A and B are shown apart, each in its own frame.
Chain A
């Protein structure tokens, strides 16, 4: 097992390097010059600009610039945000907990929907329940997150006036009321993300359970007189969940995408809304750093998926 984890880690590192090369190439290929303002300013002579370019190494070959950039990223020197005048890493560290909280709770909600519904639908394939669940699942993942968000705001904030539609990090309440306010404002973002994800996972769970339930060992378990509930919970679901556990982690890139949109709709002060406001404000260091952090999280999730798969399924050869 230890060697298997190590091997997976050795695979994760090249893909991290590959992603950073793709990212850096995109930025280096982009038109535009950080000293463009100086070029249009008649008070700044051309040689000052050239000196500045030389000082920051902008005329060096792209490979040299990549190595220098990667080295400074590795040392934790992520640059300085133009817009908010703070170091980029402190800015990101402030925003990450909210994002992880919203994403984590929504994934939990999605699993709470997908597991029981998917398993129950698979034990009664083509029944009325299965068909209704299947149709609802299709609707769930066909609804784009930005539209569900707007619908929820329309119903629960504007028509019914139950929930606030702006997420605030600074709530002036204390004690139980603080938790209650936090809970109220988190319901809609979490529901939007969770319902979309729950829809597609229901289908995965159903397919996985249907694959396993036809196997001979399940027939054996039934034949020796186990109750159907025990057969399903102890024998079928345990094996069916192996591919599902991997999928949960492999879907992370899509989930981060959904989180960006959701944070934008509900103005959740997370890493996604930081990214959008950085793009709208041309805040390049923040844009690069957020993209890189998200890429790292994705690689981390892929690595976790591999390790979990190896841990859950002893049939995988640890080579």
Chain B
């Protein structure tokens, strides 16, 4: 920034720089742009720490999550229990480390479902003009105008028991939560992918591939899809945060995970009736959700800037 204002994005100080940028890979370029977004960098670091904590934490902090000790119930944070204890004297820190695995796993799995379904629908709609496109987009709009939270709650209420009987209580709730949260978030991805496909398939390089005799599936897999992934990655990042919030909301309303699977939302739900004596019990999991979602949002914002080649930085 040494007092110089670039004349144009292409002219960045002499021909030497221009030659040097030729050898920069897209990944390195994206990383260079990402680093300039300081909040995004901070978000990435915090996110990394959180992920490491929930992955490695249970090995370092080996207090069992369901060790009941009525002598130490609703204790404020101390050296023995850094995050305090709950109404059964269970250690909040170890429950949070375990619950973080659940919350992050739900977020990632729901994001994967949303991105896969969305990319499929968007790709099919974008490649096939006419009736298929119209029907798929009508379906997307229909899903967009469904009231999501009421329907999530309704589906969980209706199908919880039968899935529990089918695959066991823990896996049943996990599959259900992931499926419904992911199943209600694919629409923005589908629209993004369709828009990308509509513009990309008319581009010269795709036309060249078509002229060389590439089949439709090869055009999609080798040329169109890789070039439309940037916005999808950004949308997927934001989806992780949205899915974590959705799971916490369900658990907070008492309709998500059962008490023996303490996801962060579930911890908040259990804690909310003891706010006056044990505020720490609600503040730590709530703060964890907030910190995760905030760092994912900043990370996604930085990624958006880094992956958009049209943006001058």
CB within 8 A of A26: which of B154, B276, B289?
Answer: B154
CB within 8 A of A275: which of B153, B268, B272, B301?
Answer: B153
8 contacts across the A-B interface (CB closer than 8 A): A22-B146, A31-B161, A32-B161, A142-B290, A147-B290, A254-B148, A257-B148, A257-B150
Known: A26-B154, A31-B161, A275-B150. A15 touches B142 (CB 8 A): yes
Q: Flag whether A298 is at the interface (Cβ < 8 A).
A: yes
Q: Which residues of B are found within 8 Å of A298, using beta-carbon distances?
A: 145-147
B286/A150 in contact, CB under 8 A? yes
CB within 8 A of A287: which of B154, B289, B290?
Answer: B154
Known: A31-B161, A144-B248. A158 touches B148 (CB 8 A): no
In this complex, what residue of B is CB-closest to A258? B149
Residues of B at under 8 Å CB distance from A? Answer: 39, 141-142, 144-151, 153-155, 157-159, 161-162, 241, 245, 248-249, 252-255, 265, 268, 272, 275-276, 279, 282-283, 286-287, 289-290, 293-294, 297-298, 301
Q: How far is the CA of A153 from the CA of B272 in the complex (A)?
A: 10
A291/B248 in contact, CB under 8 A? no
- Stretch of A39-47, A219-227, A260-268, A307-315 on the interface side: A260-268
CB within 8 A of A261: which of B144, B161, B249, B279?
Answer: B249
CB within 8 A of A158: which of B141, B155, B275?
Answer: B275
CB within 8 A of A19: which of B142, B161, B249?
Answer: B142
CB within 8 A of A154: which of B144, B254, B279?
Answer: B279
B272/A265 in contact, CB under 8 A? yes
Q: Which residues of B are found within 8 Å of A299, using beta-carbon distances?
A: 145
Please classify the interface of chain B as helix (H, G, I), strand (E, B), loop, or mixed, using the class held by over half of its residues: helix
Residues of A at under 8 Å CB distance from B? Answer: 15, 18-19, 22-23, 26-27, 30-32, 135, 138-139, 141-144, 146-147, 150-151, 153-154, 158, 253-254, 256-257, 260-261, 264-265, 275-276, 279-280, 287, 290-291, 294-295, 297-299, 302
Q: How far is the CA of A120 from the CA of B249 in the complex (A)?
A: 34
A22/B39 in contact, CB under 8 A? no
A279/B153 in contact, CB under 8 A? yes
B297/A256 in contact, CB under 8 A? no
Indicate the member of A31, A253, A264, A298 with the most B CB atoms within 10 Å.
Answer: A253
B249/A146 in contact, CB under 8 A? yes
- 9 shortest interchain CB distances as A-B pairs: A257-B149, A30-B158, A142-B294, A147-B286, A294-B147, A31-B162, A142-B293, A146-B252, A18-B142
Known: A150-B282, A264-B253, A280-B254. A144 touches B245 (CB 8 A): yes
Write the nearest CB–CB distance from A270 to chain B, whole angstroms.
Answer: 13
CB within 8 A of B276: which of A138, A158, A256?
Answer: A158
Write the nearest CB–CB distance from B53 to chain A, whole angstroms.
Answer: 19
Write the nearest CB–CB distance from B91 to chain A, whole angstroms.
Answer: 21
Q: How far is the CA of A161 from the CA of B181 in the complex (A)?
A: 37
Q: Which residues of A are found within 8 Å of B265, using beta-carbon distances?
A: 146
Write the nearest CB–CB distance from B253 to chain A, whole angstroms.
Answer: 6
Write the nearest CB–CB distance from A138 to chain B, whole angstroms.
Answer: 5
Write the nearest CB–CB distance from B227 to chain A, whole angstroms.
Answer: 25
Q: How far is the CA of A31 from the CA of B241 in the complex (A)?
A: 31
Known: A146-B268, A275-B153. A253 touches B275 (CB 8 A): no
Write the nearest CB–CB distance from B96 to chain A, whole angstroms.
Answer: 14
Known: A144-B289, A253-B146. A276 touches B151 (CB 8 A): no
Q: Which residues of B are found within 8 Å of A260, using beta-carbon distances?
A: 149-150, 153, 253
In this complex, what residue of B is CB-closest to A147? B286
Q: Which residues of B are found within 8 Å of A261, using beta-carbon distances?
A: 149, 249, 252-253
CB within 8 A of B297: which of A27, A30, A138, A265?
Answer: A138
A142/B157 in contact, CB under 8 A? no
A276/B146 in contact, CB under 8 A? no
